[in-house]
């Protein structure tokens, strides 16, 4: 069905092309013909004028007053251009012509010449003659006056047939060439429309193949231009989709795996429990509750991680940085007995999701408390520069080995520095980095084993992309 649509697109492009070029060709042929004929006529008229001018000059030089003599001399002496005829009439009657033999249409007793012989003012015109040997006649008639009386008329006529024929045959050749190129261009247009639309077909085919089971298909990007850009955009979109799908699937795998552990523990406790032994019941209940707590925290964390990939994850609000930092500082101190310290607070109003940043910073503070003792320092700070906002938690605890520093931001990964000594599921830092990323920011870590760690959240001042 999609293919049919594509054919439609090709056919439509082709039909438009066909229509437009047919109109253009159809218009240009008569226009060109008309223009060429006009040009020929113009040239003929100029020739005719020249003949008349020549006569005027001649008659001025000739002192003779007798019109017959003037005509005689002029017509003997003057041989007109090809297909041009000079006809002299006296007192409304044909007198003589040059050359002597005239075509039927302009012979001495033809209606045209008898009419023109009567004129007392200059006339110019064009007559269509049925005889195909003659074609159009273009003429000029000039009454010749001596003593103020019109005595004769000098007519110059041209039978346009010769030149007209040339124009027409040239036009026929032009039309033939035009028609041939028109059809060649049509074939080309059909092919070009097909080539141009080919990537679209590939796109459609690829899009059809892609399912949620196979997101690996990509469209080959060839050349440049819109089609290549379209393919590239499509591929980029597929890359993003693939990453999102994979991470969602991974999250699901991790989640079910992690949830199985507390369920197994709870089940084990309950199966082995002697219900009559009230002391054992009293000991088991807190253990079970503890595991259930762990489960609900885990689910809570997983939900945050899953939501963090959604567009509406953040609710951005304007926050006073100094006030915000001080409130967080007070809240953190409840986490445990440590040497708490406020490094610095930035000044100004920032745009962040307040609750999410608090959540991230509390995760970091919680970790700091976990990996320090009561003698250690934990410091909180914030600052701001032209482009960024910084929040950090610094501790003088056990530190993190270099080889673990990248890994610990992944889900369910814990460093070797703490194995078995503290409780945790390894989601805290993934949440911190997810919250930073959703603000278009990042987390940096500086840490040395036995010296301590600093986790720094760096956010752009303008969190929107
Ligand atoms: N302030 C810190 N000092 C030392 N190690 C830390 C600190 N914060 C995090 N870590 C290491 O990073 C790991 C991952 O932290 P996190 O993602 O919060 O998981 P969890 O706290 O559940 O173990 C921790 O298990 C710990 O090994
Ligand atoms: Mg943690």
Reference 52, options 162, 141, 179; nearest CA is 141
Distance 370 CA to ligand 1 centre (A): 8
In this model, does residue 373 exceed pLDDT 90? yes
> Residue 433: CB within 6 Å of ligand 1?
no
Question: In the predicted model, is pLDDT for residue 294 greater than 80?
Answer: yes
Q: Ligand 1 center to residue 300 CA distance, Å?
A: 18
Ligand nearest to the CA of 421: 1
Atom in ligand 1 nearest the alpha carbon of residue 399: 4
Where do we find the tokens 């567009």?
311
Q: For ligand 1, is residue 305 a contact (CB within 6 Å)?
A: no
Q: Could you tell me the residue ranges of all domains in the chain?
A: 2-165, 226-307, 314-460
Q: Please give the full DSSP string across 221-234, using - where no structure is assigned.
A: P-SSSHHHHHHHHH
- Which carries the bigger pLDDT value, residue 59 or residue 384? 384
Q: Which of 405, 429, 435, 452 to mutate to test the pocket of ligand 1 (most atoms within 8 A of CB)?
A: 429
pLDDT at 218: 82
Q: What would the pLDDT profile of 220-271 be if each residue is shown by its tens digit?
A: 787 788 878 888 888 899 898 888 888 888 888 888 888 888 899 999 999 9
Q: Which residue's alpha carbon is nearest to atom 11 within ligand 1?
A: 415
Judge whether residue 148 has pLDDT over 70: no
Task: Give the relative orientation of helices 226-272 and 278-307 as an angle to the nearest 10 degrees.
Answer: 180
Say if residue 424's pLDDT is above 80. Answer: no
Measured in degrees and rounded to the nearest 5, phi and psi for residue 313 equal: -60, -40
Judge if the upstream peptide bond of residue 237 is cis by omega within 30 degrees of 0. Answer: no
Residue 352 to residues 320, 356, 435, 464: CA-CA distances in angstroms? 10, 8, 10, 10
> CATH for 2-165, among 2.60.40, 3.30.2010, 3.30.450, 3.30.420?
3.30.450
Give the chain's mean pLDDT.
Answer: 86
Q: Is the pLDDT of residue 459 over 80?
A: yes
Q: Cβ(418)–Cβ(371) under 8 Å?
A: yes
Ligand 2: centre distance to CA 349 (Å) = 29
85-94, 222-231, 373-382, range with the lowest pLDDT? 222-231
CATH fold label, 314-460 = Heat Shock Protein 90 (3.30.565)
Fold classification of 226-307 is: Helix Hairpins (1.10.287)
Q: Does this chain's domain 226-307 share its CATH topology with 314-460?
A: no
Q: How far apart are CA 77 and CA 69, in angstroms?
A: 12
Cβ-contact 422, 371 below 8 angstroms = yes
Of 418, 412, 427, whose CA–CA distance to 449 is shortest? 418
* CB of residue 400 inside a 6 A radius of ligand 1: yes
Minimum mean pLDDT range among 99-113, 357-371, 398-412, 426-440: 99-113
Distance 297 CA to ligand 2 centre (A): 12
To the nearest whole percent, how much of the chain has pLDDT over 70? 93
Question: Position of tokens 């003589």?
Answer: 96
pLDDT (0 to 100) of residue 450: 92
Taking 80 as the threshold, does the pLDDT of residue 465 lie above it? no
């Amino acid at each position: 069905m999609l293919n049919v649509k594509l054919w439609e697109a090709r056919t439509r492009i082709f039909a438009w092309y066909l229509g437009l070029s047919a109109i253009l060709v159809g218009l240009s042929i008569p226009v060109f013909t008309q223009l060429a004929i006009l040009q020929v006529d113009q040239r003929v008229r100029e020739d005719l004028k020249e003949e008349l001018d020549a006569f005027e000059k001649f008659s001025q030089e000739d002192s003779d007053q007798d019109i017959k003599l003037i005509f005689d001399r002029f017509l003997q002496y003057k041989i007109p251009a090809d297909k041009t005829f000079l006809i002299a009439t006296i007192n409304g009657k044909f007198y003589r012509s040059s050359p002597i033999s005239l075509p039927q249409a302009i012979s001495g007793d033809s209606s045209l010449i008898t009419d023109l012989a009567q004129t007392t003012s200059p006339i110019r015109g064009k007559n269509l003659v049925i005889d195909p040997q003659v074609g159009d006649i273009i003429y000029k008639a000039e009454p010749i006056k001596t003593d103020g009386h019109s005595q004769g008329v000098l007519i110059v006529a041209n039978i346009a047939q010769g030149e007209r024929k040339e124009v027409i045959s040239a036009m026929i050749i032009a039309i033939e060439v035009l028609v041939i190129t028109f059809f060649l261009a049509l074939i080309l247009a059909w092919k070009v429309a097909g080539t141009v639309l080919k990537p679209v077909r590939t796109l459609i085919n690829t899009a059809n193949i892609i399912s949620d089971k196979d997101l690996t298909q990509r469209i080959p990007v060839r050349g440049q231009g819109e089609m290549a850009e379209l393919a590239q955009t499509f591929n980029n979109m597929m890359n993003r989709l693939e990453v999102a799908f994979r991470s969602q699937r991974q999250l699901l795998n991790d989640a079910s795996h992690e949830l199985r552990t507390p369920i197994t523990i709870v089940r084990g406790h309950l199966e082995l429990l002697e219900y009559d032994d009230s002391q054992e019941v009293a000991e088991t209940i807190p253990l079970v509750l503890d595991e259930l707590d762990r489960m609900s925290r885990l689910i809570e964390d997983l939900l945050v991680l899953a939501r963090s990939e959604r567009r509406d994850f953040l609710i951005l609000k304007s926050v006073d940085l100094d006030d915000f930092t001080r409130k967080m500082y007070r809240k953190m101190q409840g986490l445990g007995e440590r040497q708490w310290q406020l490094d610095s607070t930035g000044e100004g109003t920032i745009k962040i999701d307040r609750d999410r940043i608090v959540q991230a910073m509390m995760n970091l503070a919680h970790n700091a408390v976990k990996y320090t003792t009561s003698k250690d320092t934990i410091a909180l700070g914030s600052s701001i520069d032209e482009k960024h906002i910084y929040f950090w938690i610094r501790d003088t605890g056990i530190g993190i080995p270099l080889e673990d520093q990248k890994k610990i931001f992944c889900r369910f990964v814990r460093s070797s520095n703490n194995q078995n000594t503290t409780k945790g599921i390894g989601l805290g830092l993934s949440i911190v980095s997810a919250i930073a990323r959703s603000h278009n920011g990042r987390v940096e870590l500086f840490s040395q084993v036995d010296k301590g760690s600093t986790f720094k959240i760096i956010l752009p001042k303008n969190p929107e992309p």
